[in-house]
Amino acid sequence: MKNIVVIGGGTGLSTLLRGLKKFPYNITAIVTMTDDGASTGRLRRETGMLPPGDIRKCIAALAKNESDVLDLFNYRFKKGFGISGHSLGNLLLMALSDQHGGFEEAIEKASDILNIKGKVIPATLEDVHLGAEFKDGMRIMGQVRIAQYGYKMRIKNLFLSKPAVSNPRAVNSIEKADVILVGPGSLYTSILPNFLHQEIKEAFNKSSAKKIYIANVSTERGETDGYKLSDHIKEIEKYAGDFDIILANNRLFEKGSGDGYVDPVELDFADDKIVLADVGDKENPLYHSSEKLVLNINKIIGQK
């Protein structure tokens, strides 16, 4: 059984996991830990806990009875002083962390409760925030603020608020991987922050696993406005290193069929390592189809 390691965060990573769990793989999700928005941001500020949001999404995606769990785990309270806006899954992870002595212990307990297929591992266990330097020289701290400033200016470089040691379990998983999948997801705020951890980056580059980068279907406002496929590849290789395969979507939705702020990622780059396939969701062309995505990954790695 192949050891599949997926690296990313947020909605894109959970979409991939949702498809992978249907096949006989040993799955490990390494999740970025720089989220500071919405419920996650409030919990970080008010309690000092590590960001639970992306972890929650991945646990829910890997749950064997996801249909029974997802709505409840991702439910956001709509009223109540102090609780309005919070996700139930985030609060559950906070409670489990208090009960069992730490964030990793909370993840393991939640994973057991929901009977997930695979492992979910934080990229780091240190309290760290994402920073970005923009083309105009402005330096912004915080994932949410970065995306807001990015509406008018391109990102030049990413950095962390402090050097943060990689989670040893994440490094060990990369070292044992047969296949490493990176993406899809928000390029600057979900994917690339994982590779700002030196030990993760070094393990990735030393690994003999087949390395596959899953390019986004669409651009993202505040991060990759106007980016073509070559721009995405340039940035991922700048931070992570070389890939064996680039999986890109060739079913391009028409301009204007999105939400008014995004475009399909233009296929302006040709290379032997680029695999083109229809991996877009028919109903929501801004995102990948979980089923199509994994079907094509299976073809690439020889899984029937």
Q: Which two tokens stand for residue 85?
A: 């806006």
Instruction: Report the share of the chain in percent with pLDDT over 90.
Output: 80
What is the spatial distance between Cα 160 and Cα 162, in angstroms, rounded to a whole number?
A: 5
Reduced to 3 DSSP states, what percent helix, strand and coil does the chain have, rounded to the nearest 5? 40, 20, 40
Per the DSSP assignment, residues forming a β-bridge with 248 are 276
Q: Which two tokens stand for residue 279?
A: 């991996």
Class of domain 1-33+123-304: alpha beta
- What is the structure's pLDDT at 260? 55
Q: What is the DSSP letter of 124?
A: B
Instruction: Report the share of the chain in percent with pLDDT over 70.
Output: 95
Q: For the segment 143-176, what is each residue's pLDDT rounded down to a tens digit?
A: 999 999 999 899 999 999 999 999 999 999 999 9
Nearest-5° Cα angle at 169, 166 to 172? 95
- What is the structure's pLDDT at 66? 64
What is the spatial distance between Cα 272 and Cα 276, in angstroms, rounded to a whole number?
A: 11
- What is the structure's pLDDT at 254? 63
Sheet containing strand 155-160, edge to edge, reads 139-141, 130-134, 155-160
| Residue 283's pLDDT band (cuts 50, 70, 90) | confident
Residue 257 has pLDDT above 80, yes or no: no
Looking at per-residue confidence, does 172 or 64 come out higher?
172
What is the spatial distance between Cα 42 and Cα 82, in angstroms, rounded to a whole number?
A: 10
Residue 18, amino acid:
R
| Residue 83's pLDDT band (cuts 50, 70, 90) | confident
CA 259, 261, 263, 265 dihedral sign is negative
* Residues written for the chain: 304
Domain ranges in the chain?
1-33+123-304, 35-122
Residue 252 has pLDDT above 80, yes or no: no
Give the helix/strand (H/E) hosting 82.
none
What is the spatial distance between Cα 104 and Cα 99, in angstroms, rounded to a whole number?
A: 12
- What is the structure's pLDDT at 255? 58
- What is the structure's pLDDT at 259? 56
- What is the structure's pLDDT at 262? 85
**CB of 269 closer than 8 Å to CB of 228:** yes
60-81 mean pLDDT: 81
186-213 mean pLDDT: 98
CA 63, 128, 75, 223 dihedral sign is negative
- What is the structure's pLDDT at 258? 53
- What is the structure's pLDDT at 132? 98
Mean pLDDT of the chain: 92
Start-end of H helices in the chain: 10-20, 38-47, 53-62, 66-73, 88-100, 103-113, 143-149, 168-175, 198-206, 229-239, 290-301
CA 198, 180, 243, 134 dihedral sign is negative
Residue 135 has pLDDT above 90, yes or no: yes
Residue 239 has pLDDT above 80, yes or no: yes
| Residue 65's pLDDT band (cuts 50, 70, 90) | confident
30-41 mean pLDDT: 92
- What is the structure's pLDDT at 270? 84
Looking at per-residue confidence, does 303 or 238 come out higher?
238
Residue 292 has pLDDT above 70, yes or no: yes
Residue 91 has pLDDT above 90, yes or no: yes
